[in-house]
Structure 1
Amino acid sequence: MSACPPIGTPKRPTSCKAKDAQELQARWLERLAFGESRAEDRLVQLWLGVFPVSWRQVADVRLLENQMAAIRANLQGSYSDLLQAMVQDTALQASLNGLGNRRRRPNENLARELLELFSLGEGNFSEGDVREAARALTGYRRAADRTVYLDPDEHDDSLKTILGRRERFDGPSLAAWLAQQPSTARNLVQRLWPRLVGARPKAGAIEALASGWRRQGLSLPWLIQALERSAQAPAFRGQRLDDPIPMMVRSLRLLGSRHPDAVQIALRHLNFMGQRPFDPPSVKGWPANDEWLNLRWLHARVRGLQALLSDEEVWTSRQLPDALPPGLTAIPPLTLTLPAPSSRESMGLLFADPAWQFA
């Protein structure tokens, strides 16, 4: 294929979008592994799993970068802030047919996912709420700068009744109202628990955490810290099967190779593991914890890590510590005693050990 012209060039070949996506995936994986803001980037990746958009669903992969920037800008705020930003995010709007939602022909796709996945949760709203929410979300259009704006000619500005409140809702006011509902806090805690804690919670744990989060004004830093504290509790430590992306990121960071082959090998094998960046399987995002217990995916993890170790360019450019230290895994490895020499054999044993897959 001939070289692709810059993104935004008129009449640019559609075949170039896959190349754009591959470059974005490589940049993001390298940033997750070696960037200067890894803790923040890890949270951006977490929320990309809550508000998933595939590169295949957008005309311009720069929209995915804009979505990441919007998430990043709200990491220190509340879930209400983040939800309002996502409702007005061009990538999410495009992926759920929001930009085709017109006053005379409301499209319910974005409204339904907003209520079911991003706020209230299944069983906590009526079909009437979906219809009214769809009317509130009419009229959003993409501007030349890739942001969205509200077209007054296509927006239904009349009164709507949603969850008992009658108001001239639009996207931000609807998101703010949904964030106030107790079921929203419960639903989000339930969605994040398997991704950050893993093991099934004890009776009442979700409700207690959701109530505490509401008292904190749905503060995102408070929620993440509370979930991570739970993950370190003896009852839960080491019981979460890590997602492929963070598992691969840990592996790249430990190996320390900045050779381009390392990221490309990792990306190729993440596809076999079921979690290539910016390519979620559905609007529900990727699996979490025990949902990854699939022999094909588990075998792909080991093959991918062994492929990293077997590449001579990667191995010769490694920057390993003098010895593999204790504490590399949440639970002790079965096949290796740490500390251990930083040899290829030791790395092979560590990467093949089931303990390396848990967080």
Structure 2
Amino acid sequence: MKAKHIQHLYNRVGFGITPNELERLSNKNKREIIDEVFTNSSKTSPLKADISFLKDIKPGDLKIKEKRQELQKISRKKIQKFSISWMERILNPSEVFREKMTLFWANHFVSESRNNILFTQNYNNLLRENAFGNFRDFTKKISKDASMLGYLNNKQNRKKSPNENFARELMELFTLGQGNYTETDIKESARAFTGYSHNFRGKFLMRKRHHDENEKTFFKKTGNFNGDNIIDIILEQQQCARFISEKIYRFFVNENINKEHVAAMTAVFYKDYDIEKLMRFVLQSNWFYDDENIGTKIKSPMEFLAGIHQVIPYQFERPKQALLMQRLLGQTLLRPPNVAGWKTGRNWIDTNTMVRRLRLASILLNNAAITYSDTGDEETMLTDLTTKKLKRKTFIKTKTDWNAFEKNYKKIDNKGMISLIISSQINKGTAQMLSDNLDIPKKDFCVQLMSIPEYQLC
């Protein structure tokens, strides 16, 4: 397998690859390398939060306003810490592909619980545990998840006053895509999901007295359907397999859909909705490694931060600055912009984020200053982080492991680093600038490489 194809594979299933790992894998064939990718992510390591403060809480405590507000305040702080922990996991993953898939599913089955760390933890680990599982089972579990029940108001969905929010998003965003169902389908499926609830610890409960036991007609089928039945009927539609295949193609292959490739993916996925089988098919397909798919995907903020870390490991001296970095780059973990999630591709970059991205390597590796607006959401975030007067710039303090960099790139000169760090085509002007600077120290040249526009792509 060619080196550039191995690099491409690891850029997409993870966040890059070191020269030593690239050399180790260079003597293996494609199937062996892909098998290793899946083997290394076969187990699941749940991400744990400190929820000891909930140990002695009783349901009645939540009815007391002061007690409830106190618990919510503690939870919000715990959620911030959990966001930092998730980012640290992404930077230092033990199951690389599983963490990449968790990021993908977090922007598909979008949910948020701002005031309950237990629900947040359970939701995040549900994504992680089911990342390579069966999509049918996964969707049914998501429909019963406490975070999702609250986020899309299905906890308020009762037979006397059906709430259609979850039923609508289930089809529009999670399974079929807009225009592939009717308003009647939404109303009827909402009735099937009535009575879905959970206890105060997030365990799913069916409130039978709130569930509509009457017949529903959904996709021209009639019966006394519950939520699981609705999901089964949805998955009978080949459009569901196509919709998920398209989203996976955009995330892992190319923002521009190739209908022939997606049709092949759909045929594989529709058989049994096995996510791992679908991903193996994608990674083993020759078209995955076509030049048109290499170095053409704009990195998300998390991919960008993790990519730099893969080359030169770093750690924030003040962990809360990880939250600041997420916000300034436009992707705050556990805080999606809306139920549709983050818009990807070119949407990751605007005037502000582009400047920050081009300076990011210097900011993280040289403890440089970063500037930001003192208005809007950033002010809210920064006020949460410090009680000091808001300033227009701050210094990001990191501990940088240059020893690991020197070890990994010991055999690589500056010219050799270019192809190892940049996967996209380099324009003539940038190529000349790099050529003119081949004699500068290796550390400086590496930072320079990660500061050029071409590094935005993978």
TM-score (norm. length: structure 2)? 0.70
**Matches for 1:1-359 after TM superposition, within 5 Å:** 6-7=53-54, 10=61, 11=67, 12-56=70-114, 59-215=115-271, 217-228=272-283, 229=285, 230-261=287-318, 264-311=320-367, 314-322=398-406, 323=409, 325=417, 326-331=419-424, 334=430, 336=434, 343-359=442-458
Q: Is the 8 A contact 1:31 1:38 kept in 2?
A: no
- Partner of 1:76: helix, strand, or coil? coil
Q: Which moved more, 1:133-142 or 1:197-206?
A: 197-206
Residue identity matched to 1:330? S
The offset of 1:336, in angstroms, is: 4.2
Cα drift, residue 227 of structure 1: 3.8
Distance across 1 between alignment mates of 2:346 and 2:253: 12
Deviation at 1:349, TM superposition (A): 0.8
**Secondary structure of 2:80's partner?**
helix
- Stretch moving more, 76-85 or 9-18: 9-18
For 2:445 and 2:316, how far apart are their aligned partners in 1? Answer: 21
Paired amino acid for 2:455 = W
Structure 2 residues not aligned, in runs of 5+ = 1-50, 62-66, 369-396
- Which digits, 9 at most, give the CA deviation of each residue in 1:259-290, with x for residues without a partner? 544x5444312212211111111111111223
Further displaced range: 298-307 or 62-71: 298-307
Identify if the C-alpha distance between structure 1 residues 84 and 316 changes in structure 2 by more than 3 Å, giving closer, same or farther.
closer
With over 3 angstroms needed to count, the CA separation of the structure-2 counterparts of 1:309 and 1:316, relative to structure 1, is closer
The amino acid across from 2:224 in the alignment is R
**C-alpha deviations, 1:82-124, integer Å up to 9, x for none?**
1111111111111000111111100000000001111111111
Contact 1:112–1:130 at 8 Å: present in 2 too?
Answer: yes
1:308 alignment partner AA: L
Q: Match for 1:245: what amino acid?
A: M
Counterparts in 2 of 1:14 and 1:342: CA distance versus 1, 3 Å: farther
Deviates more, 1:39-48 or 1:166-175: 166-175
Count of matched residue pairs: 352
Distance 1:153 1:176 in 2: 24
Structure 1 unpaired stretches of 5+: none
Quote the Cα distance in structure 2 between the aligned partners of 1:118 and 1:339: 49
Relative distance call for 1:251 and 1:265 in structure 2 (3 A) is: farther
Identify if the C-alpha distance between structure 1 residues 252 and 295 changes in structure 2 by more than 3 Å, giving closer, same or farther: same
Once residues 363 and 190 of structure 2 are traced to their aligned partners in structure 1, the CA distance between those partners, rounded to angstroms, is 48
Check the 8 A contact 1:139/1:151 in 2, yes or no: yes
State which structure, 1 or 2, has the greater radius of gyration over its C-alpha atoms: 2
Specify the code of the residue in structure 1 equivalent to 2:361.
L
The structure-2 alpha-carbon separation of the partners of 1:77 and 1:203, relative to structure 1 and needing over 3 Å to count, comes to: closer
Helix, strand or coil at the partner of 2:217: strand
* Distance change in 2, residues 1:79/1:342 (3 Å): farther
**Superposition RMSD in Å:** 2.6
TM-score of the two chains, using structure 1 as the length reference: 0.88
| Cα distance change, pair 226–244 in 1 and its aligned pair in 2 (3 A) | farther
Q: State the alpha-carbon separation in 2 of the partners of residues 209 and 47 from structure 1.
A: 18
| Greater displacement, 156-165 / 218-227 | 218-227
Q: CA deviation at 1:231?
A: 4.0
SS across alignment from 1:15: helix
- Identify if the C-alpha distance between structure 1 residues 345 and 97 changes in structure 2 by more than 3 Å, giving closer, same or farther: same
Check whether the contact 1:132–1:160 (CA below 8 A) recurs between aligned residues: yes
Cα distance in structure 2, aligned partners of 1:139 and 1:178: 20
* Distance in 1 (alpha carbons) for counterparts of 2:81 and 2:280: 32
